[in-house]
Amino acid sequence: MAEPKKESGIFSKLFKKTDNKRTTENLILVGILGIILIIAGSTIFGGNSPEKENEPSTVIYTEKSSDTYDYLHLDKKIEDLLEKIEGAGKVSVLITYDSGKEIVRAEDVASSENILEEKDSQGGTRKQTQKDHQSETVYEKGADGNNHPVIIKEIYPPVKGVVVVAEGARNISVRENITRAVQVLLDVPIHKIQVLPAGR
């Protein structure tokens, strides 16, 4: 009866060894598969990165506009808004400005300064300073293939005065509402706004 127990013990040890061997093999296979996946992933997703580094960068030209309002079409926009005021009727707006719009372009500035020392016959020294200043407008290639100057900012001029002609301006309440609306929209003092009734 003792021998079968020994045999069962031997078989159990063999099975344990087999299980341990399979576990080790499985771990090795998992490790190999992981390495293959890493290599394949880097080849698929990262294979084009060196080519991108060698490609020349293209700057896309975009039109820049004011953050607050469109300088060119402001009259029309205010007309459309004022006509929505109750009783205003048909409205015409004229805005005058102190000056034109100022555009600040990017410039590549190069400056140098040379100091020359000269000795005269009496042993004295004389210094001469030569300054050289050069600036060039910076351009960028646009989507249309042409070069456009790089614009740093656009400075819009202050409003000089506003004249509004409205059909309903004969009504005092309507005239006051139009005046307040223009004052808020353009941030101008009330004495620069003139609201007049339209002729019949």
Residue 45 maps to a domain: yes
CATH of the domain at 96: 3.30.300.30
pLDDT classification of 6: cutoffs 50, 70, 90:
very low
Residue 146 maps to a domain: no
Question: Taking 90 as the threshold, does the pLDDT of residue 94 lie above it?
Answer: yes
Same domain, 11 and 49: yes
Euclidean distance between CA atoms 195 and 177, whole angstroms: 10
Phi, psi of 56 (to 5 degrees): -70, 140
Question: Taking 90 as the threshold, does the pLDDT of residue 124 lie above it?
Answer: no
Q: Regarding predicted confidence, which is higher, 115 or 20?
A: 115
Looking at residues 164-181, what average pLDDT do you find? 95
Euclidean distance between CA atoms 157 and 96, whole angstroms: 10
Same domain, 92 and 188: yes
Same domain, 90 and 133: no
Same domain, 92 and 185: yes
Find where tokens 């309002």 sit: 69
Residue 69 maps to a domain: no
Question: Taking 60 as the threshold, does the pLDDT of residue 59 lie above it?
Answer: no
Q: What is the pLDDT of residues 14-25, one digit of tens each?
A: 445 555 556 666
pLDDT recorded at residue 13: 52
Residue type, 29: L
Q: Which domain holds residue 83?
A: 74-101+156-197
Q: What is the pLDDT of residues 64-76, one digit of tens each?
A: 444 444 566 888 9
In 3D space, the residue among 149, 134, 181, 156 whose CA is nearest the CA of residue 72 turns out to be: 156
Same domain, 92 and 110: no
Same domain, 97 and 113: no
Task: Please say whether the beta carbons of 131 and 111 come within 8 A.
Answer: yes
The structure's pTM equals 0.45
Same domain, 86 and 173: yes
Same domain, 90 and 110: no
Same domain, 94 and 180: yes
Residue 128 maps to a domain: yes
Looking at residues 101-115, what average pLDDT do you find? 80
pLDDT recorded at residue 67: 42
